[in-house]
Chains A and B, each alone.
Chain A
Amino acid sequence: MIGTVAAFSLAVLPASRPTDHEIRRPVAAVLSKSETELLIANQDGQLVTHNLSTSAVSSVTVGRQLTDLWTLASGEILATDTAAPELLRIDPASGRVTDRLRVSRWPSRIAVKGSTCAVTSCWGHAVTIVDCAGKLRIVKTIPLPFPPREVLALSNGRFVVADAFAGEIAVLSPETDGAESGAEWSVRRHQLYGHNIGGLAEFGGRVFFSHQILNELSRSDFADVHWGTLMQNTVSHVSLESLEHERLVPKRIALGDIGNGAADPAGMQLLTDQRLAVALSGTDEILVVSDPLKSGRYAIAKGPRFKTGSRPIRLTANRDGSRMFSVNHLGDSVTMIETDNAPVMIGGRADELNAVQRGERAFFSARLSHDRWLSCHSCHTQGHTPGLKADTMGDGSFGNPKLIPTLRGVAETAPWGWNGAFASIEEQITKSVRTTMHGQVENEVIADLSAYLRTLKLPPNQRVETSDGAVEAGAVLFEQHGCVRCHQPGVFTSESVWDVGFRDENKLDRFNPPSLRRLSQRRRYFHDGRADTLSTALRQHARSLNKRIPSAELDRIAAYLKTL
């Protein structure tokens, strides 16, 4: 049985490279067709080849910012370069890029079925269908109403795509020959109760999703965290057929238990004997679920855990499932778990991390929380927001859950908190770690987290189709109606709290105006998420301020706001 752990960090850190403070951040790994080499994509654009027999390592720069890899039946490699934004075909022997295709912006993940490839584009809210039989060729670009990240090719020829932040999924089905140019693809959307979907897998006629569930009825007091009520880490699975139905009724496997949380489940991989390996990216472990197809609607995972490097996000295995690799995104390493071999620990990153890098590790680590139930990333998914509400002490009381804010661009939007109670970002972090995560945290870690948050950049805006002149007219109206008083141009917020006609359950009636930048990448609005479209939000806001603004003007303002 699987019981041996071998970690080798040099796979992603070639010895020839000078030691510096840059982490390469491996994002994906695949085995070569012969399964003798492990190919690793690093976020810095390098493709590293690690010979599993000789441990020889070579690397070549193939792009600017890689996000995924895939081995084709021919042995060639597909990779996504999100900075380009391109899909690359690579000859693994030479490391040479043999073909490249511009796809929808910000490509994230690849899945291939036959000669049809699906590439998700997170911030672009689209999936690009590519024919990869010959020269790479776009078949179809499918827009989605949510930002997709994980994608899985199903055995029935369909693709399932998961929300990068919240719990939406979509099943993409070719209506005609999927590889035909201009083929029709249908999109069936489902809501998977939860968020932060980190991995997909299919076997035994079922489709598995690793994700988290943030209970909006729960509150972040010690008891609700301790008893696993606030944040559940879980694998949900549904039958393949049910994805064609209107409503999903998933079975759930709870990961972790009291005293031993399993924060931020990510990539999954089927192993021999139908066991399911789940990367626990928040606890730096892999959990091998021994009986994932157990009957019953609810199960608690049983099986061993294996230690990995920092933040394992993806798993890959050989064809018979006897050898598995985890990609440790912040550890600059890959962990190998295999049968029979004696444990071998090879190297590890020796150079000292700087404050930002330490802060990034802390952000994605569940060690900051009580019993490792959650990390900062669990709520602020990828530093962004899943659009959920959480009942925390961030506003000084329980009973009035507030929308989780995005942290992208957060450094510029003082003060912090919906009530504007935190003059420094460090105060806000300290409050969150101590009263939401119930963790012990030292001032040095707070400083590191602060340093990391200050590096989080705004996401790109979606491209929005608008009528001629609407954006310019919206900008004028925005100023004319006095919106600029609270949402001052620049960061589109202000340092005061304002009474805007709302009142929460604890009578809070003065709110810290959220920054309006990148509204096109948010899905709920206001402190309690009461509006789920920007248009609704503007209409409610006008009503609460007793302003009579014609509908056409509100539409123009909305068009303008989507460009900020």
Chain B
Amino acid sequence: MSETSAPVTRRPVRIDSSGPMRYRDDWLESARATGSPGPCSFLAETHMSGRMILAVFVLGVTPAAGQEPTAEADRLSKRLMTIADAVVRHHVDPPTRQQLVLDALRLLRSETKLSRVNLVAQFSDAATKDELRSGLAAALRPVVESNSFRPQSVDAAIVRLLRGLPGGGNMVARSEHLVQKQVAANRYVGTGITLGMRDNVPAMITVIENGPAWQVGGKDGDLIEVIDDESTEGMSLRDVVHKLRGPAGSKVRVRLRQPGDEARDYTITRGVVDFKSTDKPKFYRDRGIVLIRFSRLSAGTVHELRTVAASLSEETRAVILDFTGLFDQDLHLGRLVADALIDGGVIGQSFSIDQLQTHRAGPGALFDDRDLYVAIGNATSGTPEWIAAALQDRRHARLIGQPTLGRGFASGTVEPEDAIVLSFATTELRRGNGVSLATRRLAPPLPPPGARMKGEKLVRQLRSTQVRPDVMVDRVDTESLVRAVSEIQRVSNEAAQ
């Protein structure tokens, strides 16, 4: 909490908060032209005589003379500046540092339930990064002095800030990030269960086949009553996760019970859990179709696809790769999957902050002796969109389903502090011909003052980056996809005859 409690004059600020945060320069330029603030913009920057000047659009309150930021506010300002710096330095389409700082401040005030005030004036004289940070520290003082202020308010505000960036973003603890990395590498170490709450008792929702819990006798739906001699009663799910996690080879004792049955005691040795990135393939032998549904991409995905390819009989003529539930995903993993499915040539391009890269597949492709279909839907986004577009462009697969989300960004991670990891869009994905799959410009030129952006326009902008299916299907559930492919195959076969 704060060390001082100097009074702060608060005055409501005139902003339009109807839309998401937008960080495009065109808003600002338009605002300059009209002399009016944009719907979400508090300030703009301009360069004058080589110095950065913050132009104030909404008058606000300058901190009272003699006010000094508290140590807490000072520490927090440093943290926010570090995060803003990381975003500015690594995001593929970053907002300005000033916009980030002010939005972070606004979100923090929102998290601490402080009323809206004009924040811009406090920074009006900030010409350098140090001055910006000083201004931020001063503006944070009322936040940290607020009775509603909690340490988690800061994290919540940062997460909201990152999520508002083009392409979204997130902040996780480093320990959580390591788990994510393990899952992406399909080298997750744990007990091999998915965890949930059943009637306020932690439960093994599913037990991964051949995983450590499965090997000792854990069953789907087992309630976890005791962990290492400690009752789980009243324990949060987070605490349960924490207690069950541990390094490979370590042991955890659990008492499990199926509802209505007797309790069973087990000692589980934690180990590598083979979390498949695809569901068990569904064979529709009567139709000569196999469907592989993706839940994510991992380092083991190509191996999973190879295993399926090696198992196909001659009767299986069509393969459906179901990307309808696949979004975001690591670009490197996507590149390996695309390489496995495309027989040489260009996969696509990626554009990061200072380089444009063209990705090429090696010769040879899995399933090139079958009819390949990729199912996409309006949840498909990021790297999966990029793979689908590549397969479409190279005519290696027919896309079926519905248009994708049109958010072709790939995320990277930055570790600006010891304990946290930020992830946000560091790469824009493009088709092989250079057409972007990312909705970088969410907004058209600024509408007149007072007018709101038409939703229709936004939709049109999004559509331009969507990957559109070759065959539209009303629903993208498994049955509908298989039915559609079956029909396409039947028509093709008839035409061939």
Task: Give bound CA distance, A549 to B184, whole Å.
Answer: 50
Q: From residue 272 to 323 of chain B, which have CB atoms closer than 8 A to chain A?
A: 299-300, 302-303, 306-307, 309-310, 312, 314
Are the CB atoms of B336 and A217 closer together than 8 Å?
yes
Task: Give bound CA distance, A191 to B359, whole Å.
Answer: 20
Q: Report which of B185, B355, B360, B366 forms a contact with A298, defined as CB distance below 8 A.
A: B366
Of A85-93, A146-154, A172-180, A219-227, the stretch lying at the interface with chain B is: A219-227
Check A216/B362 contact, CB under 8 A, given A222-B185, A254-B310, A296-B309: yes
How many chain-B residues does the 8 Å CB contact rule pick out? 30
Check A223/B187 contact, CB under 8 A, given A229-B336, A297-B368: yes
Task: Give bound CA distance, A298 to B370, whole Å.
Answer: 12
B210 at the interface (CB under 8 A from A): no
Task: Give bound CA distance, A296 to B366, whole Å.
Answer: 10
Q: Write the B102-126 contact mask toward A (1 if CB under 8 angstroms, else 0).
A: 0000000000000000000000000
- Scoring B310, B355, B360, B361 by chain A CB atoms within 10 A of each residue's CB, the highest score goes to B310
Task: Give bound CA distance, A258 to B186, whole Å.
Answer: 12
Check A224/B299 contact, CB under 8 A, given A219-B332, A300-B307: yes
B357 at the interface (CB under 8 A from A): yes
A62 at the interface (CB under 8 A from B): no
Instruction: Please indicate the chain B residues that have their CB under 8 angstroms from the CB of A218 in the complex.
Output: 336
Are the CB atoms of B310 and A296 closer together than 8 Å?
yes
Q: List 26 A-B contacts (CB under 8 A).
A: A193-B363, A213-B362, A215-B336, A215-B339, A215-B362, A216-B362, A217-B336, A217-B361, A218-B336, A222-B185, A222-B187, A223-B184, A224-B299, A226-B185, A226-B187, A227-B299, A227-B302, A229-B336, A296-B310, A296-B369, A297-B366, A297-B368, A297-B369, A298-B306, A299-B310, A300-B306
A252 to chain B minimum Cβ distance, whole angstroms, is 7
Q: Write the A189-230 contact mask toward B (1 if CB under 8 angstroms, else 0).
A: 001010000000000000000000101111101111011110
Q: From residue 248 to 275 of chain A, which have CB atoms closer than 8 A to chain B?
A: 249-250, 252, 254, 258
Check A217/B186 contact, CB under 8 A, given A229-B302, A254-B306: no
Q: Which residue of A lies closest to B187 (CB)?
A: A223
B364 at the interface (CB under 8 A from A): yes
- Scoring B306, B339, B357 by chain A CB atoms within 10 A of each residue's CB, the highest score goes to B306
Are the CB atoms of A226 and B339 closer together than 8 Å?
no
The 10 A-B pairs of least Cβ separation, nearest first, read A223-B299, A223-B185, A193-B363, A298-B309, A297-B369, A300-B310, A227-B303, A227-B299, A227-B300, A217-B339
Are the CB atoms of A252 and B364 closer together than 8 Å?
yes
Are the CB atoms of B312 and A296 closer together than 8 Å?
yes
Task: Give bound CA distance, A459 to B79, whole Å.
Answer: 58
Instruction: Please indicate the chain A residues that have their CB under 8 angstroms from the CB of B396 in the complex.
Output: none
Instruction: Please indicate the chain A residues that have their CB under 8 angstroms from the CB of B336 in the complex.
Output: 215, 217-218, 224, 229
Given contact pairs A215-B336, A223-B186, A296-B314, enumerate 15 new A-B contacts (beta carbons under 8 Å): A193-B362, A215-B362, A217-B339, A217-B360, A218-B336, A224-B336, A227-B299, A229-B336, A250-B364, A296-B309, A296-B310, A297-B368, A298-B309, A300-B307, A505-B357
A508 to chain B minimum Cβ distance, whole angstroms, is 13
Instruction: Please indicate the chain B residues that have their CB under 8 angstroms from the CB of A221 in the complex.
Output: 185
B270 at the interface (CB under 8 A from A): no
Task: Give bound CA distance, A295 to B355, whole Å.
Answer: 44
Are the CB atoms of B362 and A505 closer together than 8 Å?
no
Task: Give bound CA distance, A442 to B355, whole Å.
Answer: 40
Check A226/B364 contact, CB under 8 A, given A298-B310, A300-B310: no
B468 at the interface (CB under 8 A from A): no
- Scoring A191, A193, A217 by chain B CB atoms within 10 A of each residue's CB, the highest score goes to A217
Task: Give bound CA distance, A170 to B357, whole Å.
Answer: 33
Check A217/B300 contact, CB under 8 A, given A250-B364, A297-B369: no
Q: From residue 346 to 369 of chain A, which have CB atoms closer than 8 A to chain B?
A: none
A52 to chain B minimum Cβ distance, whole angstroms, is 38
Chain A interface residue bracket vs B: 20 to 34
Instruction: Please indicate the chain B residues that have their CB under 8 angstroms from the CB of A224 in the complex.
Output: 299, 336
- Scoring B312, B314, B359 by chain A CB atoms within 10 A of each residue's CB, the highest score goes to B312
Q: Report which of B309, B332, B362 forms a contact with A297, defined as CB distance below 8 A.
A: B309
Q: Report which of B312, B361, B363, B368 forms a contact with A191, defined as CB distance below 8 A.
A: B363
Instruction: Please indicate the chain B residues that have their CB under 8 angstroms from the CB of A298 in the complex.
Output: 306, 309-310, 366
Task: Give bound CA distance, A217 to B184, whole Å.
Answer: 17
Instruction: Please indicate the chain A residues that have their CB under 8 angstroms from the CB of B184 in the complex.
Output: 223
Q: From residue 396 to 455 of chain A, which have CB atoms closer than 8 A to chain B?
A: none
Q: Report which of B303, B332, B357 forms a contact with A228, defined as CB distance below 8 A.
A: B303
Q: Which residue of A lies closest to B365 (CB)?
A: A297
Instruction: Please indicate the chain B residues that have their CB under 8 angstroms from the CB of A299 in the complex.
Output: 310
Q: Which residue of A lies closest to B366 (CB)?
A: A298
Task: Give bound CA distance, A227 to B306, whole Å.
Answer: 11
Task: Give bound CA distance, A191 to B357, whole Å.
Answer: 25
Instruction: Please indicate the chain A residues that have their CB under 8 angstroms from the CB of B187 in the complex.
Output: 222-223, 226
A301 to chain B minimum Cβ distance, whole angstroms, is 9
A214 to chain B minimum Cβ distance, whole angstroms, is 9
B133 at the interface (CB under 8 A from A): no
Q: Which residue of A lies closest to B355 (CB)?
A: A505
Q: Report which of A191, A217, A222, A258 forms a contact with B335, defined as CB distance below 8 A.
A: A217
- Scoring A191, A216, A219, A297 by chain B CB atoms within 10 A of each residue's CB, the highest score goes to A297
A6 to chain B minimum Cβ distance, whole angstroms, is 33
Are the CB atoms of B314 and A295 closer together than 8 Å?
yes
Task: Give bound CA distance, A227 to B359, whole Å.
Answer: 21
B210 to chain A minimum Cβ distance, whole angstroms, is 13
- Scoring A219, A227, A295 by chain B CB atoms within 10 A of each residue's CB, the highest score goes to A227
Q: From residue 230 to 258 of chain A, which have CB atoms closer than 8 A to chain B?
A: 249-250, 252, 254, 258
Task: Give bound CA distance, A215 to B336, whole Å.
Answer: 9
Are the CB atoms of B369 and A227 closer together than 8 Å?
no
Task: Give bound CA distance, A298 to B357, whole Å.
Answer: 30
Instruction: Please indicate the chain A residues that have their CB under 8 angstroms from the CB of B363 in the complex.
Output: 191, 193
B344 to chain A minimum Cβ distance, whole angstroms, is 8
Q: Write the B329-357 contact mask toward A (1 if CB under 8 angstroms, else 0).
A: 00010011001000000000000000101
A194 to chain B minimum Cβ distance, whole angstroms, is 9
Instruction: Please indicate the chain A residues that have their CB under 8 angstroms from the CB of B302 in the complex.
Output: 227, 229
- Scoring A213, A249, A250, A296 by chain B CB atoms within 10 A of each residue's CB, the highest score goes to A296
Instruction: Please indicate the chain A residues that have their CB under 8 angstroms from the CB of B359 in the complex.
Output: 217
Task: Give bound CA distance, A258 to B366, whole Å.
Answer: 18
Task: Give bound CA distance, A249 to B186, whole Å.
Answer: 31
Instruction: Please indicate the chain A residues that have their CB under 8 angstroms from the CB of B307 in the complex.
Output: 300
- Scoring A191, A213, A218, A221 by chain B CB atoms within 10 A of each residue's CB, the highest score goes to A218
Instruction: Please indicate the chain B residues that have their CB under 8 angstroms from the CB of A193 in the complex.
Output: 362-364
Task: Give bound CA distance, A162 to B336, whole Å.
Answer: 28
Are the CB atoms of B310 and A227 closer together than 8 Å?
no
B7 to chain A minimum Cβ distance, whole angstroms, is 50
Instruction: Please indicate the chain B residues that have their CB under 8 angstroms from the CB of A222 in the complex.
Output: 185, 187
Q: Which residue of A lies closest to B272 (CB)?
A: A226
A302 to chain B minimum Cβ distance, whole angstroms, is 10
A260 to chain B minimum Cβ distance, whole angstroms, is 13
Task: Give bound CA distance, A166 to B300, whole Å.
Answer: 27
Are the CB atoms of A226 and B299 closer together than 8 Å?
yes
Task: Give bound CA distance, A191 to B363, whole Å.
Answer: 10
Q: From residue 138 to 184 of chain A, which have CB atoms closer than 8 A to chain B?
A: none
Are the CB atoms of B332 and A258 closer together than 8 Å?
no
Q: Which residue of A lies closest to B307 (CB)?
A: A300
- Scoring A216, A229, A258 by chain B CB atoms within 10 A of each residue's CB, the highest score goes to A229
Task: Give bound CA distance, A505 to B302, whole Å.
Answer: 25
Task: Give bound CA distance, A229 to B339, whole Å.
Answer: 11
B271 to chain A minimum Cβ distance, whole angstroms, is 13
Instruction: Please indicate the chain B residues that have their CB under 8 angstroms from the CB of A226 in the complex.
Output: 185, 187, 299
Q: From residue 287 to 303 of chain A, which have CB atoms closer than 8 A to chain B?
A: 295-300
Instruction: Please indicate the chain B residues that have their CB under 8 angstroms from the CB of A250 in the complex.
Output: 364
Instruction: Please indicate the chain B residues that have their CB under 8 angstroms from the CB of A216 in the complex.
Output: 362
B273 to chain A minimum Cβ distance, whole angstroms, is 14
